[in-house]
Structure 1
Amino acid sequence: MRGFDFSSWQTILTSIAGLLLVTLIGMGIRLVMMMTLQQRRERQNRQINERLKALISAYKVLGGSFTGTLTVSPLHLRDLKRIAETEGAEAPGGGTERARRVRDAVEAALSDIVLFGTQAQVELAASAMRDMAGGRPVEVHALVVSLRNYIREVLDLDAIPQTVVIPNQGPARPSAASGRGGREGGGGMMMGGMGLGVGLGGETDPADKG
């Protein structure tokens, strides 16, 4: 109060106006900072939601079955047709069209994991890609386990007890509406309004902690 001059009403009003101006400026700066932080948080949440949608969809494709053949045939459609014509029987994997759809869905899921997965998941997906490109049957169970553990941790779900024995999982049997669009539709139902404080980089695979 020592810095104010109360000798006249004019100086008092000037002092009050100065205080109000400083207060308004401070409040404006604070509001701008709060809006900036809120927009950044919303953008990060959207990115996290999109990432989780992609990983959940990839998990459903790669681990949607635990019976039958759990490996992915690396053969292209032309190779499957040639085998069917040569042997005069149904091609491996339950038919050329079904095997092609499984292979295409798995390829799209692996691409999503390379884009959105953790470092350990990217390494597992890259290994599966190399097997597929080299014409070797692709096993994805280890990648499915890594995705399952990571998604449960991000969603703050309890870890699955070691006493619970889960069979090996493999690619889902494709439906008529299979493909990237169909997979994303299933994952999107779980993402509405989710605000998860998880960054986009530097994660470690929960499966590696054990």
Structure 2
Amino acid sequence: MRSMDFSSWQGAMTTLIGLAVITLLGVGIRILIMQTVQQRRERMNRQINERLKTLIAAYRTLGGSFTGQLTVDPTHLRDLRERAGAEDGAPALISESAGSERSRRIRDAVEAALADILLLGTEEHCRLAGQAAADMAAGRPIHTADLVISLRSFIRSALDLGPMPADVMIPLQGPTRTQGSAARGRGEADRGGSKGGGGGDAGGAGFGVGLGMGRKDADHAG
């Protein structure tokens, strides 16, 4: 207040201009800090949302089944071919049945989910996913129930949903059973063939009508 001079109009004007400049600088610095904090918060929220989205998708892949086969078969198609070749004494082609196709699709989905968990999971998730990946690479069937439980607890805590009630009995969860692509391909081929057959019948009928009309014109001309 000592530097303020209101004894003359020149001093008062200088003092007011100085106060206005200081106020504008303070407001500008405050706005800049608020924008920086808001941008950082938005970036963190996007990262958290992407992480939760990925972990939720992995949870659904690893724990989408409560019945049936709850383990993951690590056998690859090349292993099946090697076994068949060893038994027959020569390399043999393996006929891909619906069961083997489904097992391989489940294994591929589980491998992708484990890779996502190793990238974005917590320390406990990474430890469980790493153990499952090591067992799968060694050719041992794996169970995903413990990893699914850990994922479920983390996701509910991140979404502020609270823990599961103690009186809720949840059975062991296994990987989601996928739909075989061969059956869908055969169904679509059958539908396409039936449509094509209908067109062929229609074409044959049109040819017959044209042939009959040609005969009638020939009779009239005779």
Normalising by structure 1, we get a TM-score of 0.77
Does structure 2 conserve the Cα–Cα contact (< 8 Å) formed by 1:121 and 1:147? yes
Q: 1:120-131 to 2 correspondence within 5 Å?
A: 120-131=124-135
**Structure 2 unaligned blocks of 5 or more:** 89-93, 182-222
Q: Does 1:112 align with 2:143?
A: no
Q: Distance in 2 between matches of 1:83 and 1:56?
A: 37
Per-residue deviation, 1:27? 0.3
Q: Distance in 1 between matches of 2:165 and 2:82?
A: 46
Partner AA of 2:142 in structure 1: V
Q: Distance in 2 between matches of 1:53 and 1:117?
A: 12
Per-residue deviation, 1:82? 6.0
Q: Distance in 1 between matches of 2:36 and 2:84?
A: 61
Does structure 1 conserve the Cα–Cα contact (< 8 Å) formed by 2:101 and 2:180? no
Per-residue deviation, 1:7? 2.2
Q: Distance in 2 between matches of 1:80 and 1:13?
A: 92
- Alpha carbons of structure 1 residues 63 and 83: separation in structure 2 relative to 1, 3 Å: farther
Per-residue deviation, 1:176? 6.0
- Alpha carbons of structure 1 residues 24 and 118: separation in structure 2 relative to 1, 3 Å: same
Q: Does 1:12 align with 2:12?
A: yes
Match of 1:152 in 2: 156
Match of 1:40 in 2: 40
Does structure 1 conserve the Cα–Cα contact (< 8 Å) formed by 2:132 and 2:142? yes
Q: 1:1-210 to 2 correspondence within 5 Å?
A: 1-80=1-80, 95-175=99-179
Q: Distance in 2 between matches of 1:71 and 1:118?
A: 23
Deviation string for 1:5-42 (max 9, x for gaps)?
12211111110000000000000000000000000000
Secondary structure of 1:95 counterpart: helix
Q: Distance in 1 between matches of 2:106 and 2:77?
A: 11
**Structure 1 unaligned blocks of 5 or more:** 178-210
Does structure 2 conserve the Cα–Cα contact (< 8 Å) formed by 1:80 and 1:96? no
Per-residue deviation, 1:154? 0.7
Does structure 2 conserve the Cα–Cα contact (< 8 Å) formed by 1:77 and 1:97? no
Deviation string for 1:117-162 (max 9, x for gaps)?
1101100000000100100001110000000111011111131122
| More displaced 10-residue stretch of structure 1: 154-163 or 119-128 | 154-163
Partner AA of 1:133 in structure 2: A
Normalising by structure 2, we get a TM-score of 0.73
Does structure 2 conserve the Cα–Cα contact (< 8 Å) formed by 1:63 and 1:144? yes
Partner AA of 1:158 in structure 2: G
Does structure 1 conserve the Cα–Cα contact (< 8 Å) formed by 2:102 and 2:180? no
Relative contact order (C-alpha < 8 Å, sep 6+): which is higher?
A: 1
Q: Distance in 2 between matches of 1:117 and 1:176?
A: 29
